[in-house]
Amino acid sequence: MQTKRSTYQNRWLPFFLLAPQLAITLVFFIWPASQAVKSSFERTDAFGFKTTFVGLDNYARILADPSYLNALGRTAIFSISVTVLSMSLALLLAVCVNRVLKSAKFYTTLLVWPYAVAPVVAGVLWWFLFNPTIGLLPHLLDWFGISWNHRVSGTQAMILITIAAAWKQISYNFLFFLAGLQSVPQSLMEAAAIDGAGPFKRFWTIVLPLLSPTTFFLLIININYVMFDTFGVIDATTAGGPGQATMTLVYKVYTDGVAGLNIGSSSAQSVMLMGIVIILTFIQFRYVERRVNY
Amino acid sequence: MVENRPFLNILTHLVLIAGVLVVAFPVYVAFIASTHEPSAFVRGVLPLLPGDNMFESYGQMLSSGWKVGGTPPVWLMLGNSLIMALTIAIGKIAISILSAFAIVYFRFPFRMLAFWIIFITLMLPVEVRIIPTYAVVANLGMLNSYAGLTLPLIASATATFLFRQFFMTVPEELMEASRVDGAGPMKFFKDILLPVSITNIAALFVIMFIYGWVQYLWPLLVTTDEDFYTIVLGIKRLMASSDRVPAWNLIMATVTLAMLPPVLVVLFMQRLFVKGLTETEK
C-alpha cells in the first residue's frame, strides 16, 4: 500500500495518531467478535454455572433447526424483493430525472430525503398506512375484495416490510443511478439517434449495458442493507411474526440472544452472519474496485 | 436531450410527479394524523385533511411527554438524539482523519497490520456482535450513559478509507514545502491538511450525523433509563402502548419531530450530502 513520496520520520507519533481508532476497534469490535466466535463453540447450562466446550455442535444444531432454515429462506425472499423493487423504481425515476433538464434539481430534492428517515420510522409510517383498523390502504384494498391483515397473513406481513424497507432505499439507489446515467457520453446517444434508434432502443442497447457496473455495485449494497439495516423496520411492524413469517437472520440473533438468552446458538448465528458480511465485502472490493469507466 | 418528443416529455413529468407523491404520501398521512384530536381515530378510516389540534399535540409531546405511553418529553429525547448523532459524527471524523494521516504520511512498523485492523471493522456491523458488545459495555459500567451509546459505533473504516483516498490526491509539494519551511508533522496537519480537507469533512459529517440519528438497535440494548432515550427509541416505546390507548395524534407528532432534523440536514446540505454518499460508499 502506498504512502506519500516523502514521509515523516517519527518513531512514536504515528502510533499516537492511530491509538484512539485502534483502541475503540479492539475493545468494541475485535474483542466482542472473538468472544462471539469463542462462545459459538460452547454451551452454558440452564443456570449459567457451567460452560462446556462442545465443538461444532451449536452450528450443527442451528443448521438442523427448521426455524433457522426458515429465517434463512425468509431473509433471501426479503432481500430479493426489496432489492428488485427499490432498484427498479429508482432506475425509472433516475431515467426520468435525467431526461428533464431544467427541473432535474427540483425533482432530485423531492426524492432524496427518505434516506434520512430512520428504518424504525419508515416501518411505523407504513404500518400506520396498512393498519387493519384505521389504515387507509386496507380500506382501499377492501374495494377490490382483498382483506388485509398483516397480523394474520404471513404473506401480507412480508409485503408490508418489503414496501417499508424498499421505500427508504429508493433515494439511495436513485442517486447512484442518476450519477451513472449522467456519465453516459452524450455523443454515443446522438450517434445512435442519427442511426435511427428511438429513446427505448437507446435505453436497452446503450444506457442499460453502460449502467451495469452501477447496478452490480447497488445490488451488493442493497443486499447488505436488507440483511443488516432493516432490524428497525421489522421490530416496528411485525416483530418477526405472524408465526415466523418475517423472521430474518438478524432478527433471530436478537430474539434468541436477547430475549431467549440462548448465548451459544445466538453466537453461532452471529458467526454465520459475519461469514456472510465477509463474503459480501470481498465481492464488493474484488469486483467493484475495478468498476469500469467507459 | 437528443431529440424533442413532446409526448415522452409529458409522460416523464407524470412519472416523476407520481414518484414524488408516492414517496411523500406516508409522511403526509403521518403529519395529518398529528393534527387531529384523538377522537378522530375512533370512527374508522383516517382523515386526509388537516385538523385543528396541531398545537395541542406538539405542545403536549414537547413539553411533558406522554405518561401513559411511558416516554419522557420529546425535547429531552431530541436532545439525546442530537448528542448521540453529533458525538458519533465528530468522533468518527476525528479518529479517522488522524489514522488516515498516520497511514499516508508516515512509514512505520506494523503499518499494514493497523490498516487491516481498521479494515476488519467494516465486516463487523453491530448487528452481528450484539451480545458480546453488550457484555463489554456492561462490564465497563457504560450502560445508560452517552459513552456507552456512542463509543461502540464510533470506529469507522469507511471514513478512514475516504480520508486516505483524499490525502493521496493532495499534492506532494504541499508537504515538502511546509517541511522546507520548518513545519513539523502536526503543524502541517493542522495548518495545511485540515483546511484543504474541509469539504470532505463536511460531506462526511452530513452522512455520519444521519447515521448516528437513525440508530435504533444499539440504543434499544444499552438504555433502560428514560433519561437516555433517543427519539427513535421513544417512538417504539410509544408504539408498544398504542394497543391500549391509541393516541395516534401524539405518536405521529413524535414521528414527525423525529424525522425533521435529519431530513432538514439532507435538504439544506444536499450538495454535501450527495458528495458524502457517493464518496463514502466506493
In this prediction, residue B68 carries a pLDDT of: 63
In this prediction, residue A294 carries a pLDDT of: 39
Compute CA distances A8 → A79, A158, B109, B248, whole Å.
47, 56, 13, 61
The pTM is what? 0.89
The chain-wide mean pLDDT, for chain A, equals: 85
Cell numbers placing A45:
447450562
Share of chain A above pLDDT 90, in %: 25
Flag residues of chain B having pLDDT under 70. 1-3, 42-45, 65-70, 241-246, 281-282
Q: Phi and psi at residue B65, in whole multiples of 5°?
A: 75, -160
Asked if A278 is an interface residue toward chain B (Cβ–Cβ < 8 A), one would say: yes
Q: How many CA atoms lie within 13 A of B176 on its CB side?
A: 7
| CA–CA separation, A123 and A161 (whole Å) | 7
Taking one residue from A and the other from B, the number of pairs with CB-CB distance under 8 angstroms is 297
Report helix, strand or coil for B279: helix
In this prediction, residue A293 carries a pLDDT of: 43
Task: Decide which of A43 and B68 is more confident.
Answer: A43
**A119/B270 Cβ within 8 A:** no
Compute CA distances B271 → A43, A59, A141, B262, whole Å.
52, 47, 40, 15
- Amino acid, res. B15: V
**B160/A21 Cβ within 8 A:** yes
Of B29, B94, B104, the CB nearest to A129: B29
In chain B, domain spans: 26-280
Could you say which DSSP state residue B228 is in? G
Could you say which DSSP state residue A197 is in? -
| CA–CA separation, A284 and A279 (whole Å) | 9
| Helical pair A13-25 and B111-120, crossing angle rounded to 10 deg | 30
| CA–CA separation, B117 and B122 (whole Å) | 10
pLDDT, tens digit (0-9, with 9 covering 90-100), for A106-148? 999 999 999 999 999 999 899 888 888 777 888 888 888 778 8
In this prediction, residue A35 carries a pLDDT of: 86
**A107/B107 Cβ within 8 A:** no
| CA–CA separation, A215 and A173 (whole Å) | 9
**B128/A36 Cβ within 8 A:** yes
Q: Is the pLDDT of residue A94 over 90?
A: yes
Q: Which of B74, B129, B243 best tests the A interface by mutation, with the highest count of A CBs <10 A?
A: B129
Cell numbers placing A238:
411485525
Residues counted in chain A: 294
Handedness of CA B160, B161, B165, B166 (dihedral sign): negative
Chain A nearest C-alpha distance from B212 (Å): 10
**A121/B99 Cβ within 8 A:** no
| CA–CA separation, A125 and A235 (whole Å) | 13
Cell numbers placing A118:
430512520
| CA–CA separation, A262 and B142 (whole Å) | 23
- The set of residues, in sequence order, having a beta carbon less than 8 Å from that of A141 and lying 6+ positions away, is A147, A148
pLDDT, tens digit (0-9, with 9 covering 90-100), for A232-287? 899 888 887 788 888 888 888 888 877 777 778 888 888 888 888 888 888 877 77
Share of chain A above pLDDT 70, in %: 95
Of B102, B111, B217, the CB nearest to A231: B217
Instruction: Identify all chain B residues contacting A109, using CB atoms and an 8 Å cutoff.
Output: 267, 270
- Max mean pLDDT among A5-9, A171-175, B248-252 falls in A171-175
- The set of residues, in sequence order, having a beta carbon less than 8 Å from that of A157 and lying 6+ positions away, is A150, A151, A237, A238, A241, A242, A245, A246
**A167/B26 Cβ within 8 A:** yes
Chain B nearest C-alpha distance from A111 (Å): 6
The chain-wide mean pLDDT, for chain B, equals: 84
Confidence of residue A292 (pLDDT cuts 50, 70, 90): very low
Confidence of residue A17 (pLDDT cuts 50, 70, 90): very high
Chain B nearest C-alpha distance from A26 (Å): 8
Domains present along chain A, CATH in parentheses: 57-288 (1.10.3720.10)
**A39/B108 Cβ within 8 A:** no
Instruction: Identify all chain B residues contacting A274, using CB atoms and an 8 Å cutoff.
Output: 123-124, 128-129
Considering the four listed CATH numbers 1.10.3720.10, 3.40.190.10, 1.10.340.30, 3.20.20.70, the one that applies to the domain covering B26-280 is: 1.10.3720.10
Cell numbers placing A62:
442451528
In this prediction, residue A81 carries a pLDDT of: 95
In this prediction, residue A1 carries a pLDDT of: 65
| CA–CA separation, B198 and B202 (whole Å) | 6
In this prediction, residue A38 carries a pLDDT of: 85
